[in-house]
Every structure is written in C-alpha cells, then in structure tokens.
Structure 1
C-alpha cells in the first residue's frame, strides 16, 4: 500500500507539472509528494522526474511509467469502487446452518422476501439437528435456541419470541383409549417418540402453576428428530398414538381437527430461536444484509 501511495504521488506531480499544483490536485502537501517521489525513485533505482526551479518534467523512464500507470491505477480505483458498492448492493453466497424445525417454522416467512430484496445474494441453507460448529462447517451464521448458543457469538432474535411444545392425538385414538388427565397418565398410552442424531432421546416435559413434570413414555414408533418427524406426525393423525412437538408444527392439523389437544394446560413455553454469528468487525456483506433484514422484520409491526 505504501508503493501504491507513492505511485499516486508520482502520477499527481507528473500530470500537474509540479509539486505545488500536484499537491493541490491530490489534497496533500508538496513536501509529502516530494518525499514520496524520492522513495519511489530509490526503490526503482531510476530518476523519474527532472526537477528545476522552474519546471518538473518526466524523464524517459518517467514517461514510460506514466503511460502505463494511469490506466493501471484507474483499474485499481474501479475495483475498489466495486468493492465499496457491495455495501449498498450486497452480492455473493450466504450459508446458514439451522435446525430442521427452523427451516420449517422460521425461515419460510423470511427467505422469499429477503431474496426478493437482495437479488444478488444466493442463500444456502443446511438444515440438520446435530450440533455443529458453524464456522468449521463453512457456514456464515446459524440459528439456535439459547441453551445451545456459544458464548463468543453475537445473537439476535429471529422468529417467534415465545413458542410452546404441544401434545396431541387424533380423535379416533382418544375415542379408543381416552384422554390423559395428568402427564403421568402418558405412561399408560402409546406415545410417538423422537431421538436426536446424537442418540439422546429427550423426555417429555410439562409444567402448570409452578409444577414441572418430566415423563419418559414408550410407544410403537421411534423416529429420528428432524428428518423423520413428519412420519410421526402422520402416524399421530392416523391414530397410532400421542405426539409432542412444536405447537406451530402441529397447528395446521389442530386447526383442521385431524389432531386434538392433549393436556393443553400443561404445555410448556420456551423462548424462541436466535440468529448467531461470529463477533468480528467486518461482517460479510450478504450476512450483514440478512442481519439488517431480520432486525427490521423483528422490530416492525406484527
């Protein structure tokens, strides 16, 4: 960069025909330009300007350099202007690592308007429920719930701020087996369970009036959470058993009457997800655009 500055100094002096006029054109001092030209000549080992008290004229070597330097520095400035323009017209690829629930329940209302607003951005979403290091996986950012956020990351809210786990079963199942009155009654029912890729099978948690209950029921179907969750939902609709899942995931079936709420007074609430990314000073333009878009949507009406 020092070389580039000295080259610009030489260009200003040679075009203006003097150090004072060159300094006015470049917004610098005449002595500063003189020092820069001397440094450049010392590095190249040739005289570039013939200086007298009345004029400053390029030498033969200076003229040859001037002829090639002008277009070259013009290209450099054009490239820098293009880079600066990315701040206003973000372009490139944005890679997000998200849980499958977020790809289904959070991103659908954000992705289409975001891509419409930024046609130069290509969004790549990797949806998986295993816990991964987003940077090691080559992603720019991720979506996680607060219990799985890393401490050295910046996190901003994305999606519903309060969510619930809902428990439900089909009308046919409840007609045949009855409706549980307490979470512990689930131990006598056919329950459709899920297991994380790590092998962990989370218990079902309930709370009401300060009382928290955790149960570990059994049933005829165990699915991989995320990839095979819809299979469990369809089994519940078909009357195979009782399911616990994100309320928003089950809501269409609840509204249609294909599933009925079970133990609704016990449904636990939890905070919504966060978009998180490394706390570095210069955030890539596509990610900065997505962050600003999410913040605007979250702070807007509704």
Structure 2
C-alpha cells in the first residue's frame, strides 16, 4: 500500500498541507517530467516548504508527455475530447481503484448515496468516443444507483423527455447529468416543472453552440426545467477528482482537492481572495501522475476554499500558462 494513500481521511487544512508536501516530494523523486519542470524553475525537495512554493505543471504536458510518478502498469488511458484537429490530453491511470474511491467519496459527500437517485446521463459528445473519464464515472454511478430507469441517452431526446416527466412525477429523486449544449437542446424541445430532479451540467458547448456566460446559461436551464438551481461538475481528463457546485456557480472541493489562483501576468505568484486569475489545482488522487496542475481556466477563490470558474484564457491551445516559455 502506498504510504500516501491516507488522502481520503484528510480532516484539516494542516493535514492537507502536510500530505500535499509529502506528495510533492514523492512526485519530484519519481516523475521525471515533473522533476525536469521543477528544475527549470529552480525548485526541488529542499526549497519547497509551502503549498504556494510548489510548481504547478501546465496542463499542456498531458498532451506531449507521459506524466507518471510510478512504474506500475497502465490500467486505463483517459483522453480529452478536444475539437477536431487538436491533440488530445492523455491521463495514464495505473490504479483505477483510486479514481473510483475519489469520485464515489466526493459524490457521497455532496449528494449522499447514489442508490437514492435515478441517474440519467445525457452525454452525447462523450459517449461517441473512447477514453472518457466522465463516462467511466457516470457509468459507475448508474450501476450503483440500482434503479432500472437509470441509464445513458445519446440523441434520443424524446425518450428522455418522456422518462424524465414520468420518473419525476412518480416522486423518485432524479439526477440528470448532461453536457451543456444537449441540456439546452432538451429545454428547446420541452419545458418542464420538475419537482424531484437535480439538473447537473458538466460544462462546455463542444463546438456545437456559441459559448454563453454562466448566469445566462443557468437562467435558461432553470426556467426550462422548472428548477430553482442548476448544479455543476468541475472535472477534467487530467484530474481524478471533481469539484461540485450545488447552485450559483460556487464550487466546493472534496477534502483531498484544493485550488489556488495564480496571477495571469506572473504564473509563479498568487492573487488575493475574490480576484480573478488562473486556476491551479491540487488533486491528491493524482498521486501516480501529477497532483499539481496549472489549468487553462480562469476563476476566483473565496476564504472558505470555494471557488468560481469564470471562463478560459484566450489562447486556449497553450492552455493559458505563461510557464510554457521556460
């Protein structure tokens, strides 16, 4: 058993910081890609003493390198969708049980037992390709829900509409997880007054529609489904953990995941609470790849560790990180 896998029992900020620094030293020693990157920034095991001093690997590296902190065999390769012609990110996963523990525990923390829900998934862009970590997670939740009505939908919107109305009106609790553009397609076909359903959007138009701001999106979806709040999931191929928003676009992380907000002009410094910057993610479930990821997303962080996602850097293909020039 890896000595660092007490990540799921973290109970305080002090404990999080202690384990995070252990994970940093472990990955510095065992991940050559990460060690080389740290060396460019003149960082090593001796001069990193706090979370703010840890180097965050630009997410772009998952496109160009095998990011691994172990020599164990690869069990699964998760790939990003990307738009056509773009190089996909590859997350090489050597221990699927870590991913399963992470998403099951996080889901349970925010939503309770998956058995208590009929889980409907409207994820066409993800279903139509191989290697989606989101499909892996949702499929597991559907199987554990133990409701025969739970399942995936591709383009069969009419069937989904009928099922959703029928199950919601029966009084069962429903969770509809959908890619943003497909949820918009549904409410253009039908308006609802749902009483027992949570709508969770996983973000992204996947090139199918024009991007719109979150407030406008959630207003359209809230009105269309007849619900007071739209929930959101924040995850990506390069992470084995997810943050969740139960409404208003404010995300919270499970105890083994945190974010820092870097200055957009100087990627090695951090901005104050409430200020906009680039999102850096600490994901301790990434123990076997890299737990310190500089994303291409813009956001704000608040004193209680919650955060907002405000959009992406303009030069999305360089993943918004001026560390790429070092």
TM-score by length of 1: 0.25
Asked which structure has the greater RCO (Cα within 8 Å, sep 6+), the reply is: 1
TM-score by length of 2: 0.24
Higher helix proportion (structure 1 or 2): 1
Rg comparison, structure with higher value: 1
